[in-house]
Structure 1
Amino acid sequence: MSYGKFLVKRILQGFVVIWGVVTVTFGLRAVSPGDPVNLIVDPAASPELREQIREDLGLNDPIYVQYVEYLQGLVVGDLGYSYQSSREVSTMVIERVPATLELAIAATVVAVVIAIPLGVISATRRNQPSDYGATLFSLVGISTPNFWLGIMLILVLAVQFGLFPTGQRPVGFADAMHSLITTGYAHDLVTWLRHITLPAIALGTYFTALITRLTRSGMIDELGKPYVTATEAKGLPGVLIRYKHVLRNTMIPIITVLGLQLGTLIGGAVITETVFSWPGLGLRLINAIYALDWPLIQGIIIFIGVGFVVINIFVDSLYAYLNPRVVDE
């Protein structure tokens, strides 16, 4: 199979997944209890007014007609209209994307900076205290729920010691960098870093533990191969062997997991954003669920699903480019 056919196959599979997400969310809305008209007008409104609203919204149409009309709207980028907020859903989703991406990327950076060196140390010092410590850290990190860790970080580092704020995000990364470039002052950037540190640690801990274990196992596997013995026989320094040759060959599966987990972090940031009142898609989704704002709920879920599919396709295509044997499997 050629690389082009492989890419087309992945894209078609992605469309099927997106269609499945759209269908499931629409179906949940159709079977959910309650009358959508109650979210627009008072339940005590006259039957004539309620019937007129149902007619205007197309709620009297058969369910398959509503489904087709919803799909037609999605094709042109129309995610619907939130009558509770009196705003377009697409606008409400897009304005929260930067905060969620900042948190997901920051959690990824935390994971990579900690996990890869820790995995290398664990693999090169097997059965030593540092290896046991890294293994214990990985086990604890994978077993710890991020919402509990977030609450503990707030209680200890924010409330008890006052080292970090408890939540919110008074300034975004783009605005902080713009202020740094235009004024030369780093106050906004420091503020952003202080606010994102705890959420990024809480969200990235599981990811850190996963990458640590993956790096350790990959390094151990590579260290046992003949080319390592050959490079050692040539007298190359151990640091050069570990980081230029062994770690480089270990990075392909790590890069794959990084890309896939980035999509998972975007969707999994819901609880972390709620704990830290982080103004991203997750917090908006929780508020929409409380308010039974179905158009907004659907829009956010579909957007997260599309983002996850796009990231997966990108990672698959990159992995196939780096390792052409994947195309033939």
Structure 2
Amino acid sequence: MSTYQFLIRRGLQGLLVIWGVITVVFLLRFMTPGSPVDFVAPLDASPELRAQIARNLGLDQPIYVQYAQYLGSLLQGDMGFSYIRGRPASGIIFLRLPATIELAVAATVVAIIFSIPLGVISATRRHEPADYAATGFSLVGISTPNFWLGIMLILLVSVGLGILPTSRRPIGLVPAMEMLIFQFETVGIQTWIRHMILPAITLGTYFTAMIVRLTRSGMLDQLGQPYVKAARAKGLPETLVTYKHALRNTMIPIITVLGLQLGTLIGGAVITEFVFNWPGLGTLIIDAINVRDWPIIQGALIVIGVGFVVINIVVDALYARLNPRVSLE
């Protein structure tokens, strides 16, 4: 099977998964208490006015009719109209999405920079102080809740030391005048980095700790393989054996996890965004839940689900491309 055939097959499977996500998200509105009418209608609204609002929202139709209309609207790129915000839901969601992607990518970069070197050092210096320090860090990182870490960083670094800002950055991929703006001047980049450091560390700490453990276990497995012993017997430098041969083979599962975790970071940035008042999908979803703004909630969850599917397809294709022993079948 060629790469194109593989991608076509995975794409069809991904469409089925996306259809399942859409269905589940649609049904959530009927499974949760409360009605959008309660937040749209005035407090003293008469039953007739409430019924009229329900008709305007399409809530008076049978569920299968609403489901068919919703699918038809999504196929046309229409995620519904937010009566709470008075704007189409798709426009609001896609203006917030870049900020979430920006934070997820920054957290991934932080994880890669710190986790892989720590994992290699931990594996090559097994049962030494460096190994114990790396494994201890990974244990603490995995056990630390993101919201607690974010609050502690704000109190210590921002409030206590006054080094870094505490909340959303004034520049970057942010909604402003219906456009995405980023200032590439030196001052702009410095401002962006200062605002990005604490949220990226908060979101990427768990990710970093997990990759450290994965790199360590993978390196220990590869360093015991016959090809490593043969390379050492030939007199190759230890640095070359470690980084060119052992680490290269270890990177294949790490890349897979990196891709899959990127999707997790996009969907799991809700708490971090809330702590740092980040203008992304996380804060948008929380605000929408508080007022039962279902077009926003459904649209945001569908976008996150589609992101997971796309990233999974890309990672699977990349994994098979990097490892010739893995068949696309």
TM-score (norm 1): 0.93
Residue by residue over 1:135-192, the C-alpha shift from the partner in whole angstroms, topping out at 9 and shown as x without a partner, is 1111111111111111111111111111111111211158886441xxxxx1111111
Within the alignment, does 1:152 sit opposite 2:148 as a pair?
A: no
**Kept after mapping to 2: 8 A contact 1:39/1:83:** no
- Partners of 2:181 and 2:194 in 1: CA distance: 12
Alpha-carbon shift at residue 274 of structure 1 (Å):
0.3
**CA-CA distance at 1:246 after TM superposition:** 1.2
Equivalent runs, 1:197-276 vs 2, <5 Å: 197-276=197-276
Q: Letter of the aligned partner of 1:277 in structure 2?
A: N
Identity of aligned residues (%): 64
Q: In structure 2, what is the equivalent of residue 17 of structure 1?
A: 17
- Write the distance in 2 (CA, Å) between the matches of 1:226 and 1:320: 23
Whole-angstrom CA distance in 2 between matches of 1:75 and 1:173: 27
User: What's the secondary structure of 1:96's corresponding residue?
Assistant: helix
Counterpart contact for 2:80–2:90, Cα < 8 Å: yes
C-alpha separation in 2, matches of 1:36 and 1:148: 33
Task: Kindly state the Cα deviation for residue 291 of structure 1 after the two structures are TM-superposed.
Answer: 1.4
The residue aligned with 1:170 is 170
Q: CA deviation at 1:233?
A: 2.1
Q: Is the 8 A contact 2:320 2:328 kept in 1?
A: no
CA separation of 1:31 and 1:177: change in aligned 2, threshold 3 A: closer
Match of 1:183 in 2: none
Is 33-42 or 55-64 further displaced after alignment? 33-42
Query: Is 1:65 matched with 2:65?
Result: yes
Amino acid corresponding to residue 309 of structure 2 in structure 1: V
Name whichever of 45-54 and 284-293 sits farther off: 45-54
How far did 1:2 drift? 4.8
Provide structure 1 residue ranges, at least 5 long, that are not aligned to the other structure. 181-185
Greater shift after overlay, 52-61 or 192-201?
A: 52-61
Tell me what 2:39 maps to: 39
Which structure has the highest helix share of the two?
1
| AA of the residue aligned to 1:122 | S
In structure 2, the residue matched to 1:124 is 124
For residues 49-73 of structure 1, give each alpha carbon's deviation from its aligned partner in whole angstroms, at most 9, with x where no partner exists: 3333322332221110000100111
User: What's the counterpart of residue 177 of structure 2?
Assistant: none
Whole-angstrom distance in 2 between the partners of 1:96 and 1:56: 27
Q: Name the CA distance, whole Å, in 2 between partners of 1:259 and 1:35.
A: 37
Q: CA deviation at 1:96?
A: 0.8
Change (3 A) 1:173 1:23: closer
Q: Aligned partner of 1:135: which letter?
A: T
Q: Where do residues 134-145 of structure 1 align in structure 2 (5 Å cutoff)? A: 134-145=134-145
Report the Cα offset of residue 229 of structure 1: 1.8
Shift of the 239–324 alpha-carbon distance from structure 1 to 2, 3 Å rule, reads closer
1:21 partner letter: V
Further displaced range: 127-136 or 33-42: 33-42
Aligned 8 A contact 2:122 2:134 in 1: yes
**Shift, 1:221, TM fit:** 1.0
The separation in 2 between residues aligned to 1:7 and 1:284, in whole angstroms, is 33
Q: RMSD of the alignment, in Å?
A: 1.8
What do residues 62-120 of structure 1 show as CA deviations (whole Å, max 9, x unaligned)?
11000010011111111111101001111111111111111101100000000000011
Shift, 1:196, TM fit: 0.7
Tell me how far apart the structure 1 counterparts of residues 238 and 29 of structure 2 sit (CA, whole Å).
59
- The C-alpha deviation readout for 1:275-324, integer Å capped at 9, x for no partner, is 11111110111111111111111111111111111111111111122235
1:98 aligns with 2:98: yes
- Superposed displacement of residue 124, structure 1: 0.5
Q: How many positions carry a matched residue from both structures?
A: 324
Deviation at 1:4, TM superposition (A): 4.0
Q: Distance in 1 between matches of 2:61 and 2:278?
A: 39
Q: Secondary structure at 2:269's aligned position in 1?
A: helix
Per-residue deviation at 1:8? 3.0
> Is contact 2:3–2:328 with CA below 8 Å preserved after alignment?
no
- Structure 1 residues 173 and 301, CA, compared in 2 at 3 Å: closer, same or farther? closer
SS in 2 for 1:302: helix
